[in-house]
Structure 1
Amino acid sequence: MSKKLVQDFYKSDALINSEIMDAYLHPDVVLDWNSSTGLKQLKRQDLLTLAKELSKAYVRSKAKISHILKDGNLIVVRYSHYIKTIENPREEMLLAHFMVIWELQDDKLYRGYQISQLP
């Protein structure tokens, strides 16, 4: 169940649709994200705001999962995030590569540890 929940999250438009994302997030969710600009800690409202901001620039978002592993209530996902921009909706572009460990609680994304790399 938990592996499917994470797969469904990344297969949905949650990364660019805050309403969809909202359904997957635990009320106390926290994501520690090591990005090219340093460590960011995002809480629920930060994640929803990020999805809203991304929806202003991207008309389509697709996470291509290459690996997904489950260990208890932890799910590890490795994926590449592709987008289509408003300016060029016909061309799919690689945004970044991601590796994230999600801890689930109450069938929701509760605690995440993510690292990303630009292409």
Structure 2
Amino acid sequence: MVTQAPLARALAERDADKPEFARVSAGDADPDDLPGSLPPGVRVATGEMPAEGDWSVLALLTNTNTPLRAKEICEQVEGAVDHRHVETLRMRLKRMVRREWLAEPSRGLLTLADGVRAPDRS
């Protein structure tokens, strides 16, 4: 039976010279990238947080003053604008409208729903 310690040590030695495994001190880390960081939007009345998969969409719309179309959101969030990606994202956006995280003030235009805002980061 192989023990965990020698295996972990062997992997650490193998990967030690690779730059993607370089450690970043806590002081240099971006607080928004740390686990436990606040989501980009919360429901004001209840303090409810969105699903983590929806954070990128909410972060984009939190920083945008105008409603966006699914294709524009897809381009910003996923970096792709082919039909398959846009339609998959459109279904996710419609789900977020049903769950009242997003609002659709005009057909195809999406924005944050009333009562959803960026959390206080203090």
TM-score range normalised by the length of the shorter chain: under 0.3
Rg: which structure is higher?
Answer: 2
- Quick check: which one's strand share is greater? 1
> Would you tell me which structure has more helix in proportion to its own residues?
2
TM-score when normalising by structure 2: 0.25
- Normalization by structure 1: what TM-score? 0.25
